[in-house]
């Protein structure tokens, strides 16, 4: 999963506006967006821009919607309009960089990322996005430096910690990777991928009980992910927790995990449960 929080700044702007009511087009746009009425949101953002053409937030949020819809020309035009008058608007530089990267304009994208980092003096979002850009372009050492700078700015920067975890994994440093993913979970407890990566590392290191706990957390975060429940059920079965495995695998089937894989695991579980029941019955008969 890519950890480049492309639209995080937009979401924060949207949420911060929600508390102020919906008496003007900007706040109506926010409300429409939160309800999933994207077309209405677009029209209201356009009205907000007409009323307050100097305000960057309506332009930015509209640009984010366009970018999410693949309307890159429209999004780029709005980002450029923002930074022309608000060069310190770091999120606009970062999102412009993502458009340039998508178009293969790597040199231009790097320049925009660097301007975003320069503008984002007190935060870590722009630096973490730049780090993922460098990582995607196989500049691992540079990416590590940028991620480290991001967490030095803000130790709670979960995206940067995740990037450091990825790099540590690439380098075979599992302990450092685990510490980094642990920080992700501390500062963003809903980061599903961090739990999954940590679980895989724990399994590879023989720490299977800890992996069970991590997969249980991941399954609770994404109850509709049958593949996670299947992984958890398999691990529980391997750990000899057959009743828990049975329940989890049945949940995996309901959540859409591959039926043939679940049935294969369940057949093993049922066999083990039968063996346990038979042994218990035999022990009871000997006691009598």
pLDDT at 1: 38
pLDDT digits over 122-134, tens only? 789 999 999 999 9
pLDDT at 238 over 90: yes
Q: Give the distance from CA 222 to its chain's centroid.
A: 12
pLDDT at 36: 92
Neighbours of 251 (CB within 10 A): 18
pLDDT digits over 19-44, tens only? 445 568 999 999 999 899 999 999 99
Per-position b or e across 86-124, b if 16+ CB within 10 A of its CB: beebbbbbbbbbbbbbeeeeeeebbebbebbbebbeebb
Torsion angle defined by CA atoms of residues 259, 218, 234 and 227, in that order, rounded to the nearest 10 degrees? 20
- Cα–Cα–Cα angle for 255, 246, 213, rounded to 5 degrees: 80
Residue 257 and residue 226 in contact, taking contact as beta carbons nearer than 8 Å: yes
pLDDT at 287: 54
Confidence of residue 283 (pLDDT cuts 50, 70, 90): low
Per 3-state DSSP, what percentage of the chain is helix, strand, and coil (rounded to 5)?
Answer: 80, 0, 20
- Residue 196 and residue 223: Cα distance in Å, rounded? 14
Confidence of residue 3 (pLDDT cuts 50, 70, 90): low
pLDDT at 5 over 90: no
Mean pLDDT for the chain overall:
91
pLDDT digits over 51-86, tens only? 999 999 999 999 999 999 999 999 999 999 999 999
pLDDT at 208 over 70: yes
pLDDT at 281 over 90: no
pLDDT at 121: 83
pLDDT at 19: 43
pLDDT at 13 over 70: no
**Overall average pLDDT of the 97-104 stretch:** 97
pLDDT at 288: 56
pLDDT at 2 over 50: no
Residue 211 and residue 202 in contact, taking contact as beta carbons nearer than 8 Å: yes
Contacts of 196-204 with C-beta under 8 Å, sequence gap 24+, read: 196/228, 197/165, 197/169, 199/231, 201/169, 201/174, 201/177, 202/178, 203/235, 204/174
Structural domains of the chain, ranges and CATH numbers in brackets: 1-121 (1.25.40.10)
pLDDT at 152 over 80: yes
The whole-model pTM stands at 0.85
pLDDT at 162 over 50: yes
Percent over 90 (pLDDT), the chain: 84
Torsion angle defined by CA atoms of residues 141, 144, 148 and 151, in that order, rounded to the nearest 10 degrees? 160
pLDDT digits over 242-275, tens only? 999 999 999 999 999 999 999 999 999 999 999 9
pLDDT at 282: 65
pLDDT at 184 over 60: yes
pLDDT at 285 over 70: no
pLDDT digits over 188-203, tens only? 999 999 999 999 999 9
What CA–CA distances, in Å, run from 12 to 5, 17, 58, 143, 181?
11, 9, 13, 25, 23
């Amino acid at each position: 999963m890519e950890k480049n929080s492309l639209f995080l700044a937009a979401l924060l702007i949207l949420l911060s506006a929600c508390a102020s009511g919906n008496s003007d087009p900007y706040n109506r746009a926010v409300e429409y967006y939160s309800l999933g009425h994207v077309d209405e949101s677009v029209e209201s953002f356009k009205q907000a821009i007409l009323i307050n053409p100097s305000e960057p937030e309506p332009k930015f949020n509209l640009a984010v919607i366009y970018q999410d819809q693949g309307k890159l020309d429209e999004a780029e035009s709005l980002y450029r309009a923002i930074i022309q008058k608000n060069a310190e608007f770091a999120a606009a530089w970062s999102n412009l960089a993502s458009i340039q990267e998508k178009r293969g304009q790597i040199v231009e994208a790097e320049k925009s990322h660097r301007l975003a980092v320069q503008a984002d003096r007190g935060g870590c979002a722009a630096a973490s996005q730049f780090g993922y850009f460098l990582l995607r372009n196989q500049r691992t050492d540079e990416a590590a430096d940028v991620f480290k700078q991001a967490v030095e700015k803000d130790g709670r920067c979960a995206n940067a910690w995740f990037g450091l975890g990825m790099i540590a994994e690439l380098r075979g440093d599992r302990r450092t990777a685990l510490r980094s993913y642990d920080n992700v979970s501390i500062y963003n407890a809903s980061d599903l991928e961090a739990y999954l990566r940590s679980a895989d590392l724990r399994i590879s290191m023989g720490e299977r009980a800890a992996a069970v706990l991590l997969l249980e957390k991941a399954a609770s975060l994404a109850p509709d992910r049958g593949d996670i429940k299947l992984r958890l059920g398999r691990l529980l079965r391997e750990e000899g927790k057959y009743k828990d495995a049975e329940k989890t695998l049945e949940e995996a089937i309901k959540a859409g995990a591959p039926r043939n894989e679940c049935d294969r695991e369940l057949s093993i579980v049922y066999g083990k449960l039968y063996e346990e029941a038979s042994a218990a019955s035999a022990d009871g008969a000997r006691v009598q």
